Amino acid sequence: MPRRKKSILVIDDEADMRTLFTEIFKGKYKVFTAKDGEEGLKKIFSLKPDLVILDIKMPKMNGLEVLRKSKAFYPSIPIILCTAYSSYKTVYAASLADAFVVKSPDLSELKETVEMLISQ
């Protein structure tokens, strides 16, 4: 019996980032996207993805609020905070996130982090 393809939910207000992350991961995983925190939280509850890649600065609901609310109900879903602002690294240290990755042209760190967390 074939194994179920694991799923990733990308929550980011930048359409280019959603498209890029979808292209990177779509061969190996089912990839879903959300354009803001509010939509993302709804999709976490409806899809129960195997992993979430979450931006911090977004409209309607910021990523830290999404993180807090989703971990209250689904603590076992790994969440990667992925932001262009490295200054948020200190926020990550005190957060419920499973990992923190700074957005950059080199996506190897994100790929490695996804592989590590989704295989656990």
pLDDT in single tens digits along all 120 residues of the chain: 557 889 999 999 999 999 999 999 999 999 999 999 999 999 999 999 999 999 988 888 998 899 999 999 999 999 999 887 666 566 655 567 889 888 888 889 999 999 999 987
**pLDDT on residue 106:** 82
Q: Is residue 108 part of a domain?
A: no
Q: How many domains does the chain have?
A: 1
pTM of the model: 0.90
**pLDDT on residue 87:** 62
Dihedral, CA of residue 90, residue 91, residue 95 and residue 98, to nearest 10: -70
Q: Is residue 78 part of a domain?
A: yes
d(CA 1, CA 118): 20
**pLDDT on residue 120:** 77
Q: Is residue 45 part of a domain?
A: yes
Q: Is residue 105 part of a domain?
A: no
Q: Is residue 22 part of a domain?
A: yes
Q: Is residue 97 part of a domain?
A: no
Per DSSP, which regions of 30-84 are E strands? 30-34, 51-54, 79-83
Q: Is residue 109 part of a domain?
A: no
CA distances from 38 to 31, 66, 74, 120 (A): 18, 8, 16, 27
Q: What is the DSSP letter of 71?
A: H
**pLDDT on residue 104:** 81
- Domain range spanning residue 84? 7-92
d(CA 100, CA 97): 7
The CATH number covering residue 62 comes to 3.40.50.2300
